[in-house]
Amino acid sequence: MKSRYRMALSKNTTSRISSLSAVAAIVWLVVPALAQTPPVGPDFSKVTIKTTDLGNRTYMLEGFGGNIIVAAGDDAMIMVDSQYAPLHDKIKAAIAAVTAQPVKYLINTHHHGDHTGGNGPFAKDGVIIVAHENVKKRMAEGWTHNLSGITTPPAGAEVLPAMTYTDSMVLEVKGLSAQLKHPPNAHTDGDTYVYFADANVLATGDTFANGRYPNSDFFNGGNIKGMIAAVDGYLATINDQTKIVPGHGPLANKADLIAFREMLVISRDRMASLIAEGKALSEADAQAAKPFADLDAKWAANEQASRNWVRVVYNSMKQ
């Protein structure tokens, strides 16, 4: 890895996340597919946190939002993604049930609110928020979701990453290291994947969604070509025993990732052909052609998910 960081920071900050930011993120999660209309938010009091032991003191947490990983060293923990602020206490309780070590680092895999919504409360606990430099930039400037059209206003300093990197870095606590790498222009322009070598666990963020169409946020630097390149990088890193934690969906393995890549390549190639043949001069043309109808049975939860995937792929290919 190109850089190593060892830093101890402590902040007394206030936790705050705008209601608009929460709604914008919930758009992606309430339906197990891409959504365009913001639904009613969840009752967080009814959300439970499910913990899966991945081995070697590494765990996957599922609640409401992007999947979380926590990995324990001898004196502290490294965490990947934070879901939503109202789940902070439940997430902390789930962590406390498996280890007494405190969280030292919280890695954001990208800027979307279902992965960063808990930043404020964890920062208030003294946790160091870490992300690619574009995550801090997007959050600080505000951003618009490519499918819902909802704009999230600039975030306060208390929820922004305190430590950023450009290409790669390694985070270390005693007895544990996490390798961070940036796959360019995949789900967004600020993605991070995290590899815990000792546990042979890969956290992909939303560059991989297991068993469903993903989103490639073309408003915020995402592109299906970058997603394929990211998956190629994962396949060059992992082996048949690697446990893969996707941004959304159940725990995955190498075969699941290969199937996902095949779907991405088919989608890219079909849309490229439609455009080259003059059959998709507009997004409406692409929708009418229904180019992924045979893929929908496996990858689309509903008609809206199918239409959203056409939109994502079309706009990726027109960039």
For the stretch 279-299, pLDDT in tens is 999 999 999 999 999 999 999
| Nearest-angstrom CA–CA distance, 61 and 69 | 6
* C-alpha distance across the termini of the chain, in Å: 31
Output the pLDDT for position 11: 34
Averaged pLDDT for residues 229-242: 97
pLDDT digits (tens, 9 = 90+) for 95-138: 999 999 999 999 999 999 999 999 999 999 999 999 999 999 99
Q: Look at residues 187, 34, 206, 186 and name the one whose alpha carbon lies nearest to residue 115.
A: 206
Give the tokens for residue 20.
């608009």
Structural domains in the chain, sorted by start = 4-262 (3.60.15.10)
The band of 40, judged by pLDDT with boundaries at 50, 70 and 90, is: low
Report which secondary-structure segment, H or E, holds 172. Answer: strand 168-173
d(CA 134, CA 191): 8
Residue with tokens 């109202």: 86
Tokens of residue 244, six digits: 């893969």
19-37 confidence digits (pLDDT tens): 333 333 343 333 333 322 3
Q: Sheet harboring 77-80: ordered strands across?
A: 50-55, 58-62, 68-72, 77-80, 103-107, 128-132, 163-165
Reference 84, options 16, 152, 32; nearest CA is 16
Residue 165: how many CB atoms within 10 A of its CB? 21
Mean pLDDT of 77-98: 97
> Angle at the Cα of 56 (from 52 to 58), degrees rounded to 5?
40
Chain mean position to CA 62: 13
